[in-house]
Structure 1
Amino acid sequence: MSQKAPIPEPADQVADAVHGNWVDLRAPAWSRPYLRLSRADRPIGTWLLLLPCWWGLMLAMLSTGQAGWHDLWIFIGCGIGAFLMRGAGCTWNDITDRHIDGSVARTASRPIPSGQVSVKGAFAWLILQALVAFCILLTFHPSAILLGVISLAPVCVYPFAKRFTWWPQVFLGIAFNWGALLAYTAHTGQLEWPAVILYLAGIAWTLFYDTIYAHQDAEDDALIGVKSTARLFAEQTPLWLRRFLGLSVALMTAAVILALREADPIALMVALLGPWALGLHLLWQLTRFDPSDGARLLVLFRSNRDAGLLPLPFFAAALFL
């Protein structure tokens, strides 16, 4: 039996992109540098930005006991918005980090340091993505629109965090989990404590997965003076990962209990399976963690899409009980 020939990888592919991704195989050649700038060839970041939005929306529906057609639009709009704002955020990150990225093996092939996109072109692409995302945001409740505008502050600050703090992952968590607040408010019309606690759970989750991710660059970061929790924790990383695991599960559990405190006890029990499912997946990641194995670190990081999806079917089941 003849074997299929391997798919050739483009010479200008970004080093840590998914092999055989749709950008490299199907996107028009002129668009590829811009799509790579938005990390469209690495969809995990969009998932990690989107999942807290869906958590927040589901928790809001559990809190009110109501679900309508506008919630379906919030669900879809968050998906489109997450893709666009993740792209805009990555574009901004690459603009600010263009000199650092050229000194790190994993990032030297990114569009700006490799010369595929100019800084001026990157700025234009950033503005286009942000404007389309803003149009989607305008279809939500006014309180959610205000939260969306405020979210620009942590997005702008994050790329600089690794220059002045050992905890840049906290700033990433603040930016990446903002959707939990926004989507919850888009449904309820007001920001409430269950959303805030869920938001904090997401930040703890981000500290877990992005510390794993940061270990890929720990040696290069040390050479150029970039700070991260991976460098800060060093050999103590497994201990800190256990702490972040426990904190994320505990906070999500508290958010569910607060949102469903007046709901049917069976619905509450089913919804509580969500944070525990997340915790079991994080525990599996912890058992596989090896800071010296870059390929495994990337696999574990990407597996957080599945980890973040796990609470959703339990939240959905609880909604219809």
Structure 2
Amino acid sequence: TRRPTDTSTRSMRVIEWLTSRLRDPWRERIREYLVLMRMDRPVGALLLLWPTLWGLWFAANDFPPVGLLVIFTLGVSVMRAAGCVINDYADHGWLDANVERTRNRPMAAGRVSKKEALLLFGGLLAFAFVLVLFTNALTIKLSFAGAALAAIYPFCKRYTHLAQVVLGAAFGWSIPMAFAAVTGEVPILGWLLFLANVLFSTIYDTEYAMVDRDDDIRVGAKSTAILFGDADRPIIGLLMLTFLFAMLLAGTRAQLVWPYFAALAIAAGLFVWQQWLIRKRERDACFAAFRNNNWVGCTLWIGLLLALAIR
């Protein structure tokens, strides 16, 4: 097969349909670029989208301005794609090519060159910057830090076991940007949500890293899954409890009502299910636990939306 083993079949069909009317060689090149940007695996974009929506709704204390909602939704997709491109640029030779699950990614398999990847990364960053220009000065300033985090993260796994924490900061940077765009400042609530998302990202990316732990050890990559070792499940459980407590504090600080706290209870139940899934540390089960966090993020956003709507 010429596609990565973790590709979503449904998403791949969409990509094939979108590129079907293009002529060769453009059809093949565009298809490879879309796979490089992980458009064949939309769950990653959703895991970035939900915290961004939390930030927008908390910041507005109501339905956020439609213009900002469009800008941040597009920005999430573009920055996630850019992060995936630079991640594969950093990993394609020393890591991805030596891991069964990733060795058929476009760069690892040699179907996309380094030059193409860097040009694509630059183009995506430029598009994201154009989007942020429609906000305000503080949001524009914050965007530079977000771009730096997105560029730094892929190289962290060579030097530190805490790459998942850096990913959490990169993924969560949309939250202070959302507060800045809506209110012109980043209050304590915004930073509390940011820290909560660092915890959330560390949870799901550690579960993701558990899938490749043996391969990562063999190649020499570092991750929280390797750092935690046999204590991975209890440490993930502690992170889950801390995340839920942080989101509880955010809800009480924003004076939210019962739908939000009901959503927190459902999220706690989903975390229990994830602990059950990873109990034997099997690869497919750990990957299923990782994907389940999409429902955690969605549930909390729906609870927040309903709580603000009926308050």
| TM-score (ref. length: structure 1) | 0.89
2:32 equivalent in structure 1: 33
Q: Which amino acid aligns with 1:275?
A: L
CA offsets, 1:198-235, max 9 Å, x none?
11111111111111110111111111111111112122
Once superposed, what is the RMSD of the aligned Cα atoms? 1.6
The change in CA–CA distance for 1:314 and 1:67 in structure 2 (over 3 A counts) is: same
User: Is residue 2:135 matched to residue 1:140?
Assistant: yes
2:4 is matched with which residue?
14
From 86, 94, 97, the equivalent of 1:92 is 86
Deviation at 1:159, TM superposition (A): 1.0
Could you list the runs of 5+ residues in structure 2 that have no partner in the other structure? 20-26
1:315 to 293, 301, 304: 304
C-alpha displacement of 1:67: 4.2
Contact 1:58 1:316 in 2 (8 A): yes
- How many residue pairs get matched? 300
The equivalent of 1:255 in structure 2 is 250
1:199-218 alignment runs, 5 A limit: 199-218=194-213
* CA distance in 2: counterparts of 1:130 and 1:274, whole angstroms: 34
| Equivalent residues of 1:61, 1:319 under 8 A apart | no
- Moved >6 Å (runs of 4+): none
Cα distance in 2, alignment partners of residues 273 and 61 from structure 1 = 21
Contact kept in structure 1, 2:52 and 2:174, CA below 8 Å? yes
Give the distance between the partners of 1:27 and 1:259, measured in 2 at CA.
Answer: 42
1:83 paired to 2:77 = yes
| 1:233 maps to 2:228 | yes
- Structure 2 CA distance for partners of 1:132 and 1:34, relative to 1, 3 Å: same
C-alpha distance in 2 between matches for 1:225 and 1:24: 33
Residue of 255, 262, 271 corresponding to 2:260: 271
Query: Percent identity of the aligned residues?
Result: 30
Contact 1:194 1:256 in 2 (8 A): no
Give 3-state SS (helix, strand or coil) of 1:163's partner.
Answer: coil
Amino acid paired to 2:76: A
1:169 aligned to 2:164?
yes
The letter for the 2-side match of 1:223 is R
Bigger CA drift: 12-21 or 213-222?
A: 12-21
Q: Deviations over 1:90-111 (max 9, x none)?
A: 1011111121211111111111
Mapped partners of 2:284, 2:273: distance in 1: 17
Structure 1 regions of 5+ residues with no counterpart?
1-10, 261-266
Taking the aligned partners of 1:46 and 1:286, their CA distance within structure 2 comes to 23
Q: Secondary structure at the match of 1:183?
A: helix
Structure 1 residue 61, shift from structure 2 partner: 2.0
- The letter for the 1-side match of 2:295 is D
- Residue 289 of structure 1: SS of its match in structure 2? helix
Amino acid aligned to 2:229: A
Shift of 1:313: 2.0
> What is the identity, as a one-letter code, of the residue corresponding to 1:294?
R
- Give how far 1:258 is off: 2.0
Retained in 2: the 8 A contact 1:178–1:199?
Answer: yes
**Alignment partner of 2:9: what SS?**
coil
Q: Does 1:280 align with 2:274?
A: no
Distance of aligned partners of 1:40 and 1:252 in 2 relative to their CA distance in 1, 3 Å threshold: same
Deviations 1:250-281 (A, max 9, x none): 11111222233xxxxxx434433343332222
Partners of 2:269 and 2:136 in 1: CA distance: 35
- CA distances 1:150-180 after superposition (whole Å, capped 9, x unpaired): 1112112111111111111111111011111
**Alignment partner, residue 56 of structure 1:** 55
User: For residues 231 and 212 of structure 1, what CA distance do their matches in structure 2 show?
Assistant: 11
